[in-house]
Amino acid sequence: IQELLRVMRTIDDRIVHELNTTIPTASFVGKVDPGQTCKELYESLMDAHTNRERIIKNCISQTSTVVKTLKEEREKAPEDSGLLKQLRKEQTKV
């Protein structure tokens, strides 16, 4: 998931470049509609943020389910150190 999030952050990381290429210079003002171009950039950013938020929430939900299951297993076998290690690892993710 970290790799996926890194890829999805590309537009945020390159926002200065995106703005510089979106806003037309004086020589291109007549050829490009800056309002439409900015609107498209805004929509692109909002889509990226929405998708990223959805993925993060999904990951949290799945990991929380795994943590709950591991806690239940841990209650049944409190001496299992491997289970404890796995539980701690999943809790760290959340």
Q: What is the pLDDT of residues 17-49, one digit of tens each?
A: 887 777 766 666 667 777 888 888 889 889 989
- Would residue 32 be called left, alpha or beta, if left means φ above 0 and alpha means ψ between -120 and 50 degrees? beta
pLDDT band of residue 61 (cuts 50, 70, 90) is: very high
Q: Which helix (H) or strand (E) holds 42?
A: helix 34-76
Question: In sequence order, what are the residues at sequence separation of 6 or more whose Cβ sits closer than 8 angstroms to the Cβ of residue 54?
Answer: none
Using only C-alpha atoms, the chain has a radius of gyration, in whole angstroms, of 22
Q: Which tops the pLDDT comparison, 6 or 59?
A: 59
* Residue 67, pLDDT above cutoff 90: yes
pLDDT of residue 30: 67
Please tell me whether the overall predicted TM-score, pTM, comes out greater than 0.75 for this model: no
The domain spans of the chain are 1-92
50 pLDDT band, cuts 50/70/90, is: very high
